Structure 1
Amino acid sequence: MNSFSSVQHFNNLFNEYYDRFIRFAWGYVKEKQVAEDFVSEAFTTYWENKEDLLPDTKPHAYILSIIKNKCINYLQHLQVRQRAEKEINAHAEWLLSTRINTLQACDPDFIFSDEIQKIVESTLNKLPQKTRQVFILNRYQGLSYKDIANQMDLSTKAIEFHMSKALAQLRFSLKDFIHLLLFLFYFQ
Protein backbone atom coordinates (compact mmCIF):
# COMPACT_ATOMS: atom_id res chain seq x y z
CA MET A 1 0.00 0.00 0.00
CA ASN A 2 1.47 3.36 -0.97
CA SER A 3 1.72 6.28 1.41
CA PHE A 4 -1.30 8.17 0.07
CA SER A 5 -3.58 5.15 0.10
CA SER A 6 -2.29 4.25 3.60
CA VAL A 7 -3.22 7.72 4.87
CA GLN A 8 -6.57 7.56 3.10
CA HIS A 9 -7.25 4.10 4.58
CA PHE A 10 -6.37 5.41 8.05
CA ASN A 11 -8.63 8.47 7.59
CA ASN A 12 -11.53 6.25 6.50
CA LEU A 13 -10.96 3.98 9.47
CA PHE A 14 -10.77 6.96 11.80
CA ASN A 15 -13.92 8.59 10.42
CA GLU A 16 -15.90 5.35 10.54
CA TYR A 17 -14.91 4.15 14.02
CA TYR A 18 -13.73 7.12 16.11
CA ASP A 19 -17.15 8.05 17.54
CA ARG A 20 -18.12 4.40 18.02
CA PHE A 21 -14.93 3.69 19.92
CA ILE A 22 -15.44 6.75 22.11
CA ARG A 23 -18.96 5.57 22.99
CA PHE A 24 -17.57 2.11 23.73
CA ALA A 25 -14.85 3.42 26.08
CA TRP A 26 -17.12 6.04 27.64
CA GLY A 27 -19.64 3.32 28.46
CA TYR A 28 -17.04 1.75 30.74
CA VAL A 29 -14.90 4.58 32.10
CA LYS A 30 -17.78 7.08 32.44
CA GLU A 31 -15.51 10.03 31.66
CA LYS A 32 -15.64 11.42 28.15
CA GLN A 33 -12.17 12.99 28.17
CA VAL A 34 -10.60 9.73 29.35
CA ALA A 35 -12.50 7.83 26.64
CA GLU A 36 -11.35 10.30 23.97
CA ASP A 37 -7.74 10.02 25.18
CA PHE A 38 -7.86 6.21 25.03
CA VAL A 39 -9.29 6.22 21.53
CA SER A 40 -6.76 8.78 20.27
CA GLU A 41 -3.91 6.81 21.84
CA ALA A 42 -5.20 3.58 20.28
CA PHE A 43 -5.37 5.14 16.81
CA THR A 44 -1.87 6.55 17.29
CA THR A 45 -0.55 3.14 18.36
CA TYR A 46 -2.17 1.54 15.34
CA TRP A 47 -0.62 4.13 12.99
CA GLU A 48 2.83 3.71 14.54
CA ASN A 49 2.70 -0.11 14.37
CA LYS A 50 0.68 -0.71 11.18
CA GLU A 51 3.73 -1.83 9.20
CA ASP A 52 4.60 -4.49 11.79
CA LEU A 53 1.14 -6.04 12.03
CA LEU A 54 0.28 -9.39 10.47
CA PRO A 55 -1.43 -9.09 7.07
CA ASP A 56 -4.65 -10.64 8.36
CA THR A 57 -4.92 -8.17 11.29
CA LYS A 58 -8.20 -6.32 11.25
CA PRO A 59 -7.38 -2.68 12.03
CA HIS A 60 -10.66 -1.91 13.80
CA ALA A 61 -10.33 -5.05 15.98
CA TYR A 62 -6.69 -4.17 16.76
CA ILE A 63 -7.65 -0.62 17.79
CA LEU A 64 -10.62 -1.83 19.84
CA SER A 65 -8.35 -4.31 21.66
CA ILE A 66 -6.05 -1.45 22.66
CA ILE A 67 -9.02 0.60 23.89
CA LYS A 68 -10.41 -2.39 25.79
CA ASN A 69 -7.07 -2.95 27.56
CA LYS A 70 -6.75 0.73 28.43
CA CYS A 71 -10.26 0.67 29.90
CA ILE A 72 -9.49 -2.47 31.91
CA ASN A 73 -6.30 -0.93 33.31
CA TYR A 74 -8.14 2.27 34.16
CA LEU A 75 -10.99 0.44 35.91
CA GLN A 76 -8.60 -1.84 37.82
CA HIS A 77 -6.73 1.25 39.01
CA LEU A 78 -10.04 2.75 40.18
CA GLN A 79 -10.89 -0.49 41.94
CA VAL A 80 -7.58 -0.52 43.82
CA ARG A 81 -8.04 3.13 44.78
CA GLN A 82 -11.58 2.50 46.00
CA ARG A 83 -10.42 -0.50 48.05
CA ALA A 84 -7.71 1.63 49.65
CA GLU A 85 -10.20 4.41 50.40
CA LYS A 86 -12.60 1.87 51.89
CA GLU A 87 -9.86 0.46 54.14
CA ILE A 88 -8.81 3.95 55.22
CA ASN A 89 -12.43 4.84 55.99
CA ALA A 90 -12.94 1.57 57.90
CA HIS A 91 -9.82 2.26 59.95
CA ALA A 92 -10.91 5.83 60.66
CA GLU A 93 -14.36 4.57 61.68
CA TRP A 94 -12.75 1.99 63.98
CA LEU A 95 -10.57 4.67 65.59
CA LEU A 96 -13.57 6.94 66.12
CA SER A 97 -15.59 4.08 67.57
CA THR A 98 -12.73 3.19 69.90
CA ARG A 99 -12.46 6.78 71.08
CA ILE A 100 -16.21 6.95 71.70
CA ASN A 101 -16.22 3.63 73.58
CA THR A 102 -13.18 4.61 75.62
CA LEU A 103 -14.76 7.93 76.54
CA GLN A 104 -18.04 6.26 77.46
CA ALA A 105 -16.16 3.79 79.69
CA CYS A 106 -14.23 6.60 81.36
CA ASP A 107 -15.18 7.03 85.00
CA PRO A 108 -13.69 10.27 86.36
CA ASP A 109 -14.23 9.16 89.96
CA PHE A 110 -12.24 6.00 89.28
CA ILE A 111 -9.44 7.82 87.43
CA PHE A 112 -8.84 9.97 90.49
CA SER A 113 -9.46 7.17 92.95
CA ASP A 114 -7.05 6.31 95.73
CA GLU A 115 -6.34 2.94 94.08
CA ILE A 116 -5.08 4.56 90.86
CA GLN A 117 -3.15 7.22 92.74
CA LYS A 118 -1.43 4.50 94.79
CA ILE A 119 -0.44 2.60 91.63
CA VAL A 120 0.95 5.79 90.06
CA GLU A 121 2.82 6.79 93.22
CA SER A 122 4.20 3.29 93.72
CA THR A 123 5.38 3.15 90.11
CA LEU A 124 6.97 6.60 90.30
CA ASN A 125 8.75 5.69 93.55
CA LYS A 126 10.33 2.66 91.85
CA LEU A 127 11.77 4.82 89.05
CA PRO A 128 15.36 6.11 89.16
CA GLN A 129 15.51 9.58 90.72
CA LYS A 130 16.25 11.49 87.47
CA THR A 131 13.49 9.69 85.59
CA ARG A 132 10.98 10.39 88.38
CA GLN A 133 12.07 14.05 88.57
CA VAL A 134 11.72 14.51 84.79
CA PHE A 135 8.25 12.98 84.85
CA ILE A 136 7.09 15.13 87.77
CA LEU A 137 8.45 18.32 86.20
CA ASN A 138 6.73 17.55 82.91
CA ARG A 139 3.40 16.03 83.97
CA TYR A 140 2.74 17.67 87.31
CA GLN A 141 4.46 21.04 86.86
CA GLY A 142 3.85 21.39 83.12
CA LEU A 143 7.43 22.19 82.11
CA SER A 144 8.48 21.56 78.52
CA TYR A 145 11.27 19.13 77.68
CA LYS A 146 13.47 22.09 76.80
CA ASP A 147 12.82 23.81 80.15
CA ILE A 148 13.49 20.59 82.05
CA ALA A 149 16.70 20.05 80.09
CA ASN A 150 17.89 23.56 81.02
CA GLN A 151 16.91 23.17 84.67
CA MET A 152 18.55 19.74 85.05
CA ASP A 153 21.52 20.51 82.79
CA LEU A 154 20.67 17.63 80.45
CA SER A 155 20.04 17.36 76.72
CA THR A 156 16.53 17.35 75.32
CA LYS A 157 17.22 13.80 74.07
CA ALA A 158 18.02 12.73 77.63
CA ILE A 159 14.71 14.21 78.81
CA GLU A 160 12.89 12.32 76.04
CA PHE A 161 14.63 9.12 77.15
CA HIS A 162 13.61 9.59 80.80
CA MET A 163 10.02 10.43 79.87
CA SER A 164 9.79 7.38 77.60
CA LYS A 165 11.14 5.22 80.41
CA ALA A 166 8.65 6.63 82.95
CA LEU A 167 5.69 6.34 80.58
CA ALA A 168 6.59 2.79 79.63
CA GLN A 169 6.69 1.78 83.29
CA LEU A 170 3.40 3.54 84.03
CA ARG A 171 1.75 1.93 81.00
CA PHE A 172 2.84 -1.46 82.29
CA SER A 173 1.63 -0.77 85.82
CA LEU A 174 -1.70 0.57 84.59
CA LYS A 175 -2.26 -1.93 81.77
CA ASP A 176 -5.59 -3.00 83.26
CA PHE A 177 -6.88 0.58 83.14
CA ILE A 178 -6.80 1.29 79.40
CA HIS A 179 -9.15 4.28 79.50
CA LEU A 180 -6.93 5.85 82.12
CA LEU A 181 -3.88 5.29 79.97
CA LEU A 182 -5.51 7.13 77.12
CA PHE A 183 -6.46 10.00 79.39
CA LEU A 184 -3.02 10.30 80.99
CA PHE A 185 -0.67 9.41 78.17
CA TYR A 186 -2.36 9.64 74.79
CA PHE A 187 -1.70 13.34 74.31
CA GLN A 188 2.01 13.50 75.11
Structure 2
Amino acid sequence: MSASKLPISQRDFEHLYMTYKPRFLRIAQSYVRDAMTAEDLVAESFIQFLESRATVDTEHIPAYLLSSVKNRCLNYLRDCKRHHEAHDKLRTSAVRTLEQHLDILETTLPETMRYAEVSEIIERTLRGMPERTRRVFLAHRIENMSYKEIERLYGLSERQINYRLQTAKEQLRVALKDYAPLLALWTVLH
Protein backbone atom coordinates (compact mmCIF):
# COMPACT_ATOMS: atom_id res chain seq x y z
CA MET A 1 0.00 0.00 0.00
CA SER A 2 1.41 3.41 -0.93
CA ALA A 3 1.95 6.14 1.66
CA SER A 4 -0.79 8.30 0.14
CA LYS A 5 -3.51 5.61 0.64
CA LEU A 6 -2.93 4.70 4.29
CA PRO A 7 -6.08 4.46 6.41
CA ILE A 8 -6.74 7.64 8.42
CA SER A 9 -6.76 7.37 12.22
CA GLN A 10 -9.72 8.30 14.42
CA ARG A 11 -7.78 11.29 15.80
CA ASP A 12 -6.89 12.49 12.29
CA PHE A 13 -10.52 12.09 11.22
CA GLU A 14 -11.76 14.16 14.19
CA HIS A 15 -9.19 16.86 13.38
CA LEU A 16 -10.28 16.82 9.72
CA TYR A 17 -13.95 17.02 10.78
CA MET A 18 -13.40 19.95 13.15
CA THR A 19 -11.23 21.78 10.62
CA TYR A 20 -13.41 21.45 7.50
CA LYS A 21 -16.95 21.08 8.81
CA PRO A 22 -17.61 24.84 9.31
CA ARG A 23 -16.32 25.66 5.81
CA PHE A 24 -18.35 22.84 4.19
CA LEU A 25 -21.45 23.89 6.13
CA ARG A 26 -21.19 27.44 4.74
CA ILE A 27 -20.76 26.08 1.22
CA ALA A 28 -23.68 23.64 1.55
CA GLN A 29 -25.89 26.30 3.12
CA SER A 30 -25.12 28.70 0.28
CA TYR A 31 -26.50 26.08 -2.13
CA VAL A 32 -29.49 24.65 -0.26
CA ARG A 33 -30.43 27.73 1.82
CA ASP A 34 -31.38 25.60 4.82
CA ALA A 35 -29.10 25.12 7.86
CA MET A 36 -30.55 21.75 8.92
CA THR A 37 -30.33 20.30 5.41
CA ALA A 38 -26.79 21.63 5.00
CA GLU A 39 -25.84 19.99 8.31
CA ASP A 40 -27.27 16.65 7.13
CA LEU A 41 -25.52 16.79 3.75
CA VAL A 42 -22.14 17.61 5.29
CA ALA A 43 -22.53 14.87 7.91
CA GLU A 44 -23.45 12.36 5.18
CA SER A 45 -20.34 13.38 3.23
CA PHE A 46 -18.10 12.79 6.24
CA ILE A 47 -19.81 9.45 6.97
CA GLN A 48 -19.31 8.35 3.37
CA PHE A 49 -15.65 9.38 3.60
CA LEU A 50 -15.24 7.48 6.85
CA GLU A 51 -16.71 4.34 5.25
CA SER A 52 -14.51 4.57 2.14
CA ARG A 53 -11.40 6.21 3.62
CA ALA A 54 -9.14 3.32 2.73
CA THR A 55 -9.65 4.06 -0.98
CA VAL A 56 -9.25 7.85 -0.78
CA ASP A 57 -5.90 9.45 -1.49
CA THR A 58 -4.88 11.14 1.80
CA GLU A 59 -3.33 14.09 -0.05
CA HIS A 60 -6.75 15.01 -1.53
CA ILE A 61 -9.13 14.43 1.36
CA PRO A 62 -10.41 18.05 1.55
CA ALA A 63 -11.02 18.07 -2.22
CA TYR A 64 -12.77 14.70 -1.98
CA LEU A 65 -15.01 15.92 0.86
CA LEU A 66 -15.79 19.21 -0.93
CA SER A 67 -16.73 17.30 -4.07
CA SER A 68 -18.93 14.97 -2.00
CA VAL A 69 -20.69 17.93 -0.32
CA LYS A 70 -21.30 19.66 -3.67
CA ASN A 71 -22.64 16.45 -5.24
CA ARG A 72 -25.00 15.88 -2.32
CA CYS A 73 -26.21 19.48 -2.58
CA LEU A 74 -26.74 19.04 -6.31
CA ASN A 75 -28.71 15.82 -5.78
CA TYR A 76 -30.76 17.43 -3.02
CA LEU A 77 -31.61 20.43 -5.24
CA ARG A 78 -32.55 18.14 -8.15
CA ASP A 79 -34.84 16.16 -5.85
CA CYS A 80 -36.41 19.39 -4.61
CA LYS A 81 -36.95 20.56 -8.17
CA ARG A 82 -38.62 17.25 -9.14
CA HIS A 83 -40.75 17.39 -6.00
CA HIS A 84 -41.87 20.97 -6.75
CA GLU A 85 -42.59 20.16 -10.40
CA ALA A 86 -44.69 17.16 -9.39
CA HIS A 87 -46.47 19.25 -6.75
CA ASP A 88 -47.12 22.00 -9.32
CA LYS A 89 -48.55 19.45 -11.78
CA LEU A 90 -50.86 18.05 -9.12
CA ARG A 91 -51.88 21.55 -8.05
CA THR A 92 -52.49 22.60 -11.66
CA SER A 93 -54.57 19.48 -12.25
CA ALA A 94 -56.56 20.08 -9.06
CA VAL A 95 -57.15 23.73 -10.00
CA ARG A 96 -58.29 22.71 -13.48
CA THR A 97 -60.71 20.17 -12.01
CA LEU A 98 -62.07 22.76 -9.58
CA GLU A 99 -62.52 25.27 -12.40
CA GLN A 100 -64.44 22.68 -14.43
CA HIS A 101 -66.71 21.92 -11.47
CA LEU A 102 -67.27 25.62 -10.87
CA ASP A 103 -68.10 26.20 -14.53
CA ILE A 104 -70.60 23.36 -14.50
CA LEU A 105 -72.21 24.56 -11.28
CA GLU A 106 -72.29 28.20 -12.35
CA THR A 107 -73.98 27.38 -15.65
CA THR A 108 -76.54 24.92 -14.30
CA LEU A 109 -77.43 25.83 -10.74
CA PRO A 110 -78.78 29.36 -10.75
CA GLU A 111 -80.98 29.29 -13.83
CA THR A 112 -81.69 25.70 -14.75
CA MET A 113 -81.80 23.74 -11.50
CA ARG A 114 -83.47 26.35 -9.32
CA TYR A 115 -85.91 27.32 -12.05
CA ALA A 116 -86.92 23.66 -12.43
CA GLU A 117 -87.28 23.25 -8.66
CA VAL A 118 -89.36 26.42 -8.31
CA SER A 119 -91.55 25.46 -11.27
CA GLU A 120 -92.21 22.05 -9.75
CA ILE A 121 -93.16 23.58 -6.38
CA ILE A 122 -95.50 26.11 -8.04
CA GLU A 123 -97.22 23.41 -10.11
CA ARG A 124 -97.63 21.15 -7.08
CA THR A 125 -99.03 24.01 -4.98
CA LEU A 126 -101.45 25.05 -7.73
CA ARG A 127 -102.69 21.45 -8.09
CA GLY A 128 -103.33 21.35 -4.34
CA MET A 129 -105.49 24.52 -4.34
CA PRO A 130 -109.28 24.43 -4.51
CA GLU A 131 -110.44 24.56 -8.13
CA ARG A 132 -112.02 28.01 -8.01
CA THR A 133 -109.01 29.57 -6.18
CA ARG A 134 -106.62 28.13 -8.75
CA ARG A 135 -108.74 29.39 -11.68
CA VAL A 136 -109.00 32.90 -10.24
CA PHE A 137 -105.27 33.05 -9.57
CA LEU A 138 -104.34 31.80 -13.07
CA ALA A 139 -106.85 34.14 -14.72
CA HIS A 140 -105.45 37.15 -12.89
CA ARG A 141 -101.70 36.32 -12.85
CA ILE A 142 -101.18 34.31 -16.03
CA GLU A 143 -103.92 35.59 -18.33
CA ASN A 144 -103.70 39.16 -16.94
CA MET A 145 -107.47 39.40 -16.52
CA SER A 146 -108.85 42.31 -14.53
CA TYR A 147 -111.12 41.90 -11.51
CA LYS A 148 -114.11 42.95 -13.66
CA GLU A 149 -113.35 40.26 -16.27
CA ILE A 150 -112.99 37.61 -13.55
CA GLU A 151 -116.28 38.80 -11.96
CA ARG A 152 -118.11 38.29 -15.24
CA LEU A 153 -116.40 34.95 -16.03
CA TYR A 154 -116.88 33.27 -12.61
CA GLY A 155 -119.74 35.29 -11.11
CA LEU A 156 -117.71 36.33 -8.08
CA SER A 157 -117.65 39.64 -6.23
CA GLU A 158 -114.51 41.76 -6.04
CA ARG A 159 -114.17 40.80 -2.37
CA GLN A 160 -114.37 37.07 -3.18
CA ILE A 161 -111.77 37.47 -5.95
CA ASN A 162 -109.48 39.36 -3.59
CA TYR A 163 -109.88 36.63 -0.92
CA ARG A 164 -109.06 33.82 -3.39
CA LEU A 165 -106.01 35.69 -4.74
CA GLN A 166 -104.72 36.32 -1.20
CA THR A 167 -105.26 32.63 -0.32
CA ALA A 168 -103.36 31.49 -3.44
CA LYS A 169 -100.50 33.96 -2.81
CA GLU A 170 -100.18 32.83 0.82
CA GLN A 171 -100.05 29.14 -0.17
CA LEU A 172 -97.37 29.90 -2.78
CA ARG A 173 -95.42 32.07 -0.33
CA VAL A 174 -95.34 29.24 2.23
CA ALA A 175 -94.41 26.64 -0.41
CA LEU A 176 -91.60 28.83 -1.79
CA LYS A 177 -90.25 30.17 1.53
CA ASP A 178 -86.77 28.69 0.85
CA TYR A 179 -86.64 30.45 -2.53
CA ALA A 180 -87.85 33.88 -1.37
CA PRO A 181 -84.51 35.70 -1.98
CA LEU A 182 -84.20 34.15 -5.44
CA LEU A 183 -87.79 35.02 -6.33
CA ALA A 184 -87.39 38.59 -5.07
CA LEU A 185 -84.27 39.02 -7.20
CA TRP A 186 -85.98 37.43 -10.21
CA THR A 187 -88.97 39.77 -9.78
CA VAL A 188 -86.69 42.82 -9.63
CA LEU A 189 -84.66 41.75 -12.69
CA HIS A 190 -87.69 40.79 -14.83
> What is the TM-score normalised by the length of structure 1?
0.50
1:99 partnered with 2:128: no
Matching residue within 39, 42, 46 for 2:42:
39
- Counterpart of 1:89 in structure 2 is 91
- What SS does the aligned partner of 2:52 have? helix
Write the mapping of 1:1-80 to structure 2, written as runs, cut at 5 A: 6-54=9-57, 58-80=60-82
Number of equivalent positions: 111
2:56 maps to amino acid = L
1:20 deviates by: 0.7
Residue type at the aligned position of 1:108: T
Give 1:62's aligned amino acid.
Answer: Y
Superposed counterparts of 1:38-187, under 5 Å: 38-54=41-57, 58-106=60-108, 107-108=111-112
- How far apart, CA to CA, are the structure 1 residues paired with 2:113 and 2:22? 72
Shift of 1:98: 0.9
Stretches of structure 2 that go unaligned for 5 or more consecutive residues are 117-190
- 1:18 Cα deviation after fit: 0.6
AA paired with 1:45?
Answer: Q
Amino acid aligned to 1:72: L
Q: How many Å separate the matches in 2 of 1:8 and 1:110?
A: 81
Shift of 1:8: 4.0
Partners of 1:110 and 1:47 lie apart in 2 by: 73
- How far the C-alpha of 1:105 sits from its partner, in A, is 2.3
2:99 counterpart letter in structure 1:
S
Any stretches of 5+ residues in structure 1 without a counterpart?
113-188
C-alpha displacement of 1:40: 1.6
- Separation in 2, partners of 1:54, 1:18: 19
CA distance in 2, matches of 1:52, 1:109: 76
Runs of 4+ aligned residues of structure 1 deviating over 6 Å after TM superposition are: none
Output the TM-score relative to the length of structure 2: 0.50
Could you say which structure has the larger radius of gyration?
2
